[in-house]
Structure 1
Amino acid sequence: MRRLLALSSLGLALALAIPAASAADRIVGEAFATRSEVYAPHAMAATSHPLATQVALDVMKGGGSAVDAAIAANAALGLMEPTGNGIGGDLFAIVWDPKTKKLYGYNGSGRSPRGLDLAEFQRRGLTEVPPHGPLPVTVPGTVDAWFALHGRFGRRPIAEDLAPAIRYAREGHPVHQVIAYYWGRSVPVLSKWPGFAEQFTVDGKRGPRTGEMWRNPNLANTLEAIAEGGRDVFYKGDIARRIDAYFKANDGFLRYEDLAAHEGEWVEPVSTHYRGYDVWELPPNGQGIAALQILNILEGYDLKSYGFGSPEHVHLFTEAKKLAFADRAASYADPAFYRTPVERLVSKDYAAERRALISMDRAMKAAEPGVIPQLNEGDTIYMTVADADGMMVSLIQSNYRGMGSGMAPPGLGFIFQDRGEQFVLKPGHPNSFAPGKRPFHTIIPAFVTRDGKPWMSFGVMGGAMQPQGHAQIIINMVDFGMNLQEAGDAPRIQHDGSTEPAGQAVAMSDGGELDLETGYPYETVRALMQKGHSVRFAHGPYGGYQAIQVNPEGGYIGASESRKDGQAAGY
């Protein structure tokens, strides 16, 4: 399955022996690009599913804004790629508004049930929130986010935005390759939870195969109800009552009152300046500022002179990631419960302090947070859309692990997220479970401006890979001179094993594991091992990338990488 399902260990070793520069497979000779960038004069959409990309373009051709198109495409993705997202999950977005020439951030994450507390987990003998079933379920924030974004930036009725997804849900659509693979993996794990097998399998036994038509009339009915009755149908109406009854009957804690109380939040994006570019992320409870911390640390090194794929490039990136993730584990949490020192964490002075801890010769085995808290992961979709008026949307949405919790209320056609797994069951931790609290969140949209003007909207989906991926895209383009497509297709670095802000939050003591995607020279691998890195082979933890860049000649440039089923297209 293309690069997503990687080679055997032997195949990887052989591939690593090939110099990185020879990774070029475009006839024009650009390294790493699996295809050309996409250019269009008026509008662009890049999503992880070709049909969703076409939905977004159709909406904009019909007079909709980039936000209308993003909502339409996201609704379609919830149907077509339930392995990564749906209306049972959360949503974050960054929008560039050409009228005000400003960025607007929306945190559409939901809170834990108010009737569930830390003591309940302790009574059940649990030291971590389970990954599936009713206990990790939190209030889904996506529908609210759609209406909040639409209320400020939409141009046409939201019923028209949801119409393509409703039509595909009734008439059917062919399932794509990567989605079919992950769907098949989820079915044996989630089929024991009530409502899943009945609504998300073929004959109660398997996921749909590649190319097989899939229909979801239950989701069509749910989306029609939302289109006709608005957000309150979902949070305060019949759908909310059906959700309440379902969880009461299945050892769950989510209630009508939790849904009715939900509100997303407009937030101010946070930025750092990296070699002439302003990189923007959303503040916690998400992990976006980890990407800013990584970039701030790396700004002190001449990465360009070392070259892409060099031992110095990979080593310095990995060490910067370890330091940023130590802070991520210690202090990224719901700001309503803990005040993360964002300004300090993304400052250049703090980056200099952290940079001084890096050795060029040896890999860190442990990394302590630099800011000590003063107490008072997963499958995802990323998409971006830009319209003819200059509005750009960076949007990410997820059910978290796999297809979510497995909890699928009969007749509604969607699965609830298991985002609550990201809580820590440890009293006193900033991310400790509490009633009505938002968990630490992995999904993060990104945006880049230059001289106060929009330059790029992008994201890299994939749990803890996301801030690592964001930083790598920026480095690839700014330091190594890659274009939009090359930057996403270039082989990635993924460090695993840092202290996590979830589970039991066990501190890293062995340096973790370094995953290198096919394409790094063996000389680099050997040098990294000599520095003390534990380099390993891993199947597909490298995320998925979509991006839109403003074309200085007019219009937009789009990119969609080879690890997903996606497409960038415009008109």
Structure 2
Amino acid sequence: MNKAVGCAPPNEERVSGMRNFQFAGRSTVHARNAMVATSHPQASLAAIETLRAGGTAADAAIAASALLAVIEPQSTGIGGDCFALYQPKGEGPIVSYNGSGRAPKAAHAEWFVEHGINAIPLTSPHSVTIPGAIDAWATILRDHGRFGLDQLLQPAIKAAEDGYVVAPRIAFDWKNGFEKLKKGANTARYLLPHGEAAVTGDVIRQPELAQTLRLIAKLGPDGFYKGAVAEDMVATLRGLGGLHTLEDFAGHTTETTTPISTNYSGHDVWQCPPNGPGITMLVMLNVLSLFDLTKYAPLSVERFHLEAEAARIAYLMREQHIGDPGHVDVDVIRILSREFAAEYGSQIKMDRLLDLPSVSPPMNPSTVYITVVDQDRNVCSFINSIAHSFGSAIVSEKTGVLLQNRGAGFRVQPGHPNCIAPGKRPLHTIIPSLATENGRAKLSFGVMGGQYQPVGQVHVLTNMLDFGLDMQEAIDLPRGLHYEGVYQLEDGVPAEVVEGLRAIGHEIAGLSVPHGGGQGVWIDWDKGTLTGGSDPRKDGCALGY
């Protein structure tokens, strides 16, 4: 692999299970009882403390998510959405939780057309769908938790009230979001201390958000979707021209569903169904199943080319076919068939690009991913997001709630499967994943980073299953995303690979920000151990005991 990411050089013989300790990098984390991995050390610690106190994987994931909603405000918050996969005891049926919010009941596509709005602006009130996270947290705890929100929100309340220290990657994103926050609604007041972006080591306090969290801890979801908090969110949004009502908030519900899957290299890979976009990742795997990746090196022209072509096919499928199944017919069975994958996949050539229509997704947001496996081997793969960095840049005036801009993912195009409509959920980008072998959980993982997520999950999974990398090496390996006609490659991709991709027709661009982040936990049932990894592109870590 590449020195830039702490792996051994490509032609160096690798001792099985042993990284080269002469290069900078991270070891995998190992434990017997439980394992967590998040994008922030304090969230990982909160999850471990919850588990040690007797909590389940669900309790730990939600304690971590709530804390991240305070201390990683550019990526997540209680004004956002979540999805989760949960497998009790790591075997048997997996449950999918859809905690995504809906458009207001007044959000007719015709209204936007009449008002000359052809695309929903990222920082307008129309980009705000009803936040689904809080109700989803409560639903997951009802089904799988031992504790309630009253206990699990305490670390988040303390961080908001007493203050938290800004971590390096969060400061990096805060600086990049400075202009957005200056122009937002109430964002300068809440998120620009002293009129500047927070820097590493700053202590940030948000007492209004702490008070909102206390109300939710006391009243449960009603403390968010009804009463004073909901009234303030609606007043803020309507004051900016939004269509939201108290009834929109009070009527929100979480959907519990059966996940969808495909088989890759002897493993069943599971995703939440649409309106989640996990089907994109599964189509990519089906396309790559037509090839033998093991013939190539993990950092090779051939591997990156095949990954890009599979992504282009899968993203085209998503754009043409996927929307909220409560409003449009999504033929999941056909899309996940091998015949569907072969329709384009069989045409892939190694010396040139497929001639495919250009796809330009509406948004490329951020998020946080959390994975937890507890001592009973309950597995929780969990993701929470406010969409773009700092969401809509609209903070509810009195409550400190930063609202997501997930609604900017809608099309304003009548007849399109993802066209905005009353009570409709937008096509999402956030996807938790779970891989099983013979019905047992093997890998709980996710990769953050907007449109990169399906590609990132495929990249990490194939790094492990095809190339034999361990959990941490699989996360560390340099990444690329073929997006809007350009192959965006991280700095760690070797120069000869970059030039080889150019030679077969890829337009190449570098990045100012790495592709997402990622976490994973690998379960070894024979040894009774857990292996965790966490992405150095973020501030987080894996912890176990």
TM-score by length of 2: 0.94
Candidates 145, 151, 154, aligned match of 2:142:
151
Partner of 1:570: 544
- Matching of residue 211 in structure 1 with residue 201 in structure 2: yes
- Matching of residue 544 in structure 1 with residue 517 in structure 2: yes
**Shift in Å, 1:418:** 0.4
- Matching of residue 560 in structure 1 with residue 534 in structure 2: yes
Partner of 2:187: 196
Instruction: Tell me how far apart the structure 1 counterparts of residues 204 and 13 of structure 2 sit (CA, whole Å).
Output: 37
Q: Which amino acid aligns with 1:46?
A: A
Q: CA contact under 8 A between 1:85 and 1:398: conserved in structure 2?
A: yes
Q: Which amino acid aligns with 1:495?
A: H
Instruction: Tell me how far apart the structure 1 counterparts of residues 206 and 219 of structure 2 sit (CA, whole Å).
Output: 20
Distance 1:429 1:259, change over 3 A: same
Q: CA contact under 8 A between 1:133 and 1:405: conserved in structure 2?
A: yes
Instruction: Tell me how far apart the structure 2 counterparts of residues 493 and 90 of structure 1 sit (CA, whole Å).
Output: 26
Distance 1:100 1:559, change over 3 A: closer
Distance 1:193 1:310, change over 3 A: closer
Distance 1:49 1:21, change over 3 A: farther
Partner of 1:503: none
Distance 1:90 1:297, change over 3 A: same
List alignment gaps of at least 5 residues for structure 2.
none
**Shift in Å, 1:320:** 1.1
Q: Which amino acid aligns with 2:540?
A: G
**Shift in Å, 1:541:** 4.5
Partner of 1:354: 344
| SS, match of residue 379 in structure 1 | coil
Q: Which amino acid aligns with 2:394?
A: M
Instruction: Tell me how far apart the structure 2 counterparts of residues 513 and 407 of structure 1 sit (CA, whole Å).
Output: 31
| SS, match of residue 401 in structure 1 | coil
**Shift in Å, 1:353:** 2.4
Residues 295-444 of structure 1 mapped to structure 2, 5 A cutoff: 295-367=285-357, 377-444=364-431
- Matching of residue 516 in structure 1 with residue 503 in structure 2: no
- Matching of residue 82 in structure 1 with residue 69 in structure 2: no
Q: How large is the RMSD of aligned CA atoms in angstroms?
A: 2.3
String of CA shifts for 1:215-264, please: whole Å, max 9, x gaps.
Answer: 11111111110111111121122211222222222222221110011111
Partner of 2:433: 446
**Shift in Å, 1:329:** 0.6
List alignment gaps of at least 5 residues for structure 1.
4-11, 370-376, 498-511
**Shift in Å, 1:161:** 0.7
| SS, match of residue 191 in structure 1 | helix
Q: CA contact under 8 A between 2:324 and 2:427: conserved in structure 1?
A: yes
Q: CA contact under 8 A between 2:368 and 2:384: conserved in structure 1?
A: yes
Instruction: Tell me which moved more, 224-233 or 110-119.
Output: 110-119
Partner of 1:126: 117
Partner of 1:45: 36
Instruction: Tell me how far apart the structure 2 counterparts of residues 224 and 126 of structure 1 sit (CA, whole Å).
Output: 38
Candidates 93, 99, 104, aligned match of 2:84:
93
**Shift in Å, 1:32:** 8.9
Q: CA contact under 8 A between 1:33 and 1:486: conserved in structure 2?
A: no
User: Percent sequence identity over matched residues?
Assistant: 40
**Shift in Å, 1:186:** 1.7
Distance 1:277 1:99, change over 3 A: closer
| SS, match of residue 469 in structure 1 | helix
Number of residues of Structure 1 aligned to a counterpart in Structure 2: 536
Distance 1:232 1:100, change over 3 A: farther
Partner of 2:219: 229
**Shift in Å, 1:346:** 1.1
| SS, match of residue 135 in structure 1 | helix
Partner of 2:447: 460
String of CA shifts for 1:320-364, please: whole Å, max 9, x gaps.
Answer: 111111101111110011111111111122222222221122112
Instruction: Tell me how far apart the structure 2 counterparts of residues 23 and 195 of structure 1 sit (CA, whole Å).
Output: 56
String of CA shifts for 1:431-484, please: whole Å, max 9, x gaps.
Answer: 111121101100010000011101010000111100000111111001101000
Q: CA contact under 8 A between 1:323 and 1:354: conserved in structure 2?
A: yes
Instruction: Tell me how far apart the structure 1 counterparts of residues 106 and 433 of structure 2 sit (CA, whole Å).
Output: 34
**Shift in Å, 1:128:** 1.1
Q: CA contact under 8 A between 1:33 and 1:485: conserved in structure 2?
A: no
Instruction: Tell me how far apart the structure 2 counterparts of residues 19 and 99 of structure 1 sit (CA, whole Å).
Output: 36
Partner of 2:275: 285
Partner of 2:477: 490
**Shift in Å, 1:540:** 2.1
Instruction: Tell me how far apart the structure 2 counterparts of residues 207 and 418 of structure 1 sit (CA, whole Å).
Output: 21
Q: CA contact under 8 A between 1:19 and 1:521: conserved in structure 2?
A: no
